[in-house]
Amino acid sequence: MTTNTKTPAAVLPLNSILSGDCIEAMRALPDACVDLIFADPPYNLQLKGTLHRPNNTQVDACDDHWDQFDSFRAYDEFTRAWLAEARRLLKPDGALWVIGSYHNIFRVGAELQNQGFWILNDVVWRKSNPMPNFRGKRLTNAHETMIWASRDEGAKYTFNYEALKELNDGVQMRSDWVIPICNGGERLKDDKGDKAHPTQKPEALLHRILVGCTKPGDVVLDPFFGTGTTGAVAKMLGRDWIGIEREEAYRKVAEKRLSKVRRFDKTALEVTQSKRAEPRVPFGQLVERGMLRPGEMLVSPRGQMAKVRADGTLIADDVKGSIHKVGATLEGAPSCNGWTYWHFRRDGKTVSIDVLRQQIRAEMGR
């Protein structure tokens, strides 16, 4: 695979399901074309005939250690191949989510790290209604594990912190998510009324992932598309999606499902923004506009004083510099947000200078 077989992004097969083996299908896509990948790979180590040893002989059912080892090796090879393609398709600041159980997740996680992905969190899907352990020989297997990883260490991955915090009743979202398994009306059935897919994931899971880790208009790839939960939620949320699925029966169910999905209206898609996303206002503008006068004194919560200078810096004793630097120095702190630290007096009341910044931002919005 060379990197000069690029296809213009304009011809990406957006919002469609590709048929065929996921590794082959990924090879036909250009480098760095997707923002997020959600992957729910098979974890049956025998993979029902889909797994082959490196010499192309088929792995069959086994229970002794050598065969077990062979089976692990074949699974590792499969994992290495699809993860490498997934990595190639990700934009530099893209990220990957992968879900699995104890049968496969340790192998997937180790290979992720080996390839240079940078794990951001492991997340536990805590099932509120799991299937019990009927034989009483083990604990109820009541969760699955997801790994969230950026393509590279230091990448500027998307994380809508405030949005997830809102989803979680005002406290920051944790790494353990309590979500019911997919059943009831959401569970897709085939013509005979049986479940259409053995491991259909709940839309709530994908909703949280896509709200938290993508922006509207992002491209989301699911190389193990199944009956299309990823595509359905992506469509609802106004994200573009690409699915890959080799089983025709699943593709058919997914096509039908997706044709019925409607995008949420635009205002419903807006999520709470971080302050970081708001425009930067230089402190000097407050002076330029006459909201604060040169020579005026600012005061900190602990009673520290500083004088405003004409160039938008402060001076306190022998300390000069920005509102942040002077605040940090006076507090002996490694850093300080001068906007919330400093206050001024008007009509006998003490007011945060951040109020003035908000006034300017409000004017900019008009």
Partner DNA sequence: CACGGCAATGAATCGTACT
Partner DNA sequence: AAGTACGATTCATTGCCGT
Run of H or E including 239: none
Q: Enter the DSSP assignment of 189.
A: B
Q: State the CB neighbour count (10 A cutoff) for residue 69.
A: 11
266-305 binders of DNA (CB under 7 A): 274-276, 278, 280-283
105 CA to centre of own chain: 18
> By CB under 7 A, how many residues form the interface with DNA?
85
Q: Cα(50)–Cα(59) distance, rounded to whole angstroms? A: 9
Do the Cβ atoms of 305 and 316 come closer than 8 Å?
Answer: yes
Torsional sign, CA 185, 187, 188, 189? negative
CB of 278 to its own copies, least distance (A): 15
Run of H or E including 143: strand 143-150
Nearer residue to DNA within complex by CB, 30 or 284: 284
CB of 197 to DNA, least distance (A): 8
- Select from DNA, its own copies, none the partner in contact with residue 200, using the beta carbon and a kind-dependent cut-off of 5 to 8 Å: DNA
- Residue 203 as a binder of DNA (CB under 7 A): the answer is no
Nearer residue to its own copies within complex by CB, 16 or 133: 133
154-173 binders of DNA (CB under 7 A): 156, 161-162, 165, 170-172
Q: Which residues make up the interface to its own copies (CB under 8 A)?
A: 52, 56, 63, 65, 68-69, 72, 101-103, 105-110, 112-114, 116, 119-124, 126, 130, 132-133, 136-143, 145, 147-148, 153-154, 159, 161-162, 164, 171-176, 274, 331, 333-336, 366
CB of 219 to its own copies, least distance (A): 23
Nearer residue to DNA within complex by CB, 157 or 241: 157
CB of 138 to its own copies, least distance (A): 5
- Residue 182 as a binder of DNA (CB under 7 A): the answer is yes
- Residue 262 as a binder of DNA (CB under 7 A): the answer is no
Report the phi/psi class of residue 334: left, alpha or beta, with left for phi > 0 and alpha for psi in -120 to 50. Answer: alpha
Residue 292 buriedness (CB in 10 A; 0-12 / 13-18 / 19+): buried
Helix (H, G, I), strand (E, B) or coil at 160: coil
In sequence order, what are the residues at sequence separation of 6 or more whose Cβ sits closer than 8 angstroms to the Cβ of residue 44? Answer: 103
Do the Cβ atoms of 146 and 98 come closer than 8 Å?
Answer: yes
Question: Following CA atoms 298, 299, 304, 308 in sequence, which dihedral angle do they give, to the nearest 10 degrees?
Answer: 0
Nearer residue to its own copies within complex by CB, 31 or 162: 162
- Select from its own copies, DNA, none the partner in contact with residue 110, using the beta carbon and a kind-dependent cut-off of 5 to 8 Å: its own copies
CB of 352 to its own copies, least distance (A): 16
Q: State the CB neighbour count (10 A cutoff) for residue 263.
A: 14
107-136 binders of DNA (CB under 7 A): 113, 118-121, 128-136
Beta strand pairing call for 297-299 and 305-308: antiparallel
- Select from DNA, its own copies, none the partner in contact with residue 107, using the beta carbon and a kind-dependent cut-off of 5 to 8 Å: its own copies
CB of 319 to DNA, least distance (A): 13
Nearer residue to DNA within complex by CB, 184 or 303: 184
Do the Cβ atoms of 128 and 180 come closer than 8 Å?
Answer: yes
CB of 8 to DNA, least distance (A): 25
- Residue 183 as a binder of DNA (CB under 7 A): the answer is yes
Pick from 204, 193, 248: nearest CA to 226: 248
- Select from DNA, its own copies, none the partner in contact with residue 185, using the beta carbon and a kind-dependent cut-off of 5 to 8 Å: DNA
Question: Following CA atoms 332, 335, 338, 343 in sequence, which dihedral angle do they give, to the nearest 10 degrees?
Answer: -30
- Select from DNA, its own copies, none the partner in contact with residue 68, using the beta carbon and a kind-dependent cut-off of 5 to 8 Å: its own copies
53-112 binders of DNA (CB under 7 A): 53-57, 59-62, 67, 101-103
